[in-house]
Amino acid sequence: MNPVLEEIYSTIIPSAPYLIAAYALLWVALLVYILIIVRGQKRAEKQLELIEEDVKGRTL
């Protein structure tokens, strides 16, 4: 490749890992929070199940 063109594009490959890491970690952070929400919901639903069984047990 033409040496000048090479120099023009010289920073692209070294910067690629940082660029990709930045975007990837962004999505990881969002996913982590979504997982926290989902986990909380599952836990609360399990509690509700326990309560339903308890109520059923009492009315019987």
Question: Alpha helix locations (H) across the chain?
Answer: 3-8, 12-59
CA distance 14 to 21: 12
User: CA-CA distance, 46 to 40, in Å (whole number)?
Assistant: 10
Touching other proteins, residues 11-50 (CB under 8 A): 11-12, 14-16, 18-19, 21-23, 25-26, 29-30, 33-34, 36-37, 40-41, 43-44, 47-48
Which residues are at the interface with other proteins (CB under 8 A)? 2, 4-5, 7-12, 14-16, 18-19, 21-23, 25-26, 29-30, 33-34, 36-37, 40-41, 43-44, 47-48, 51, 54-55
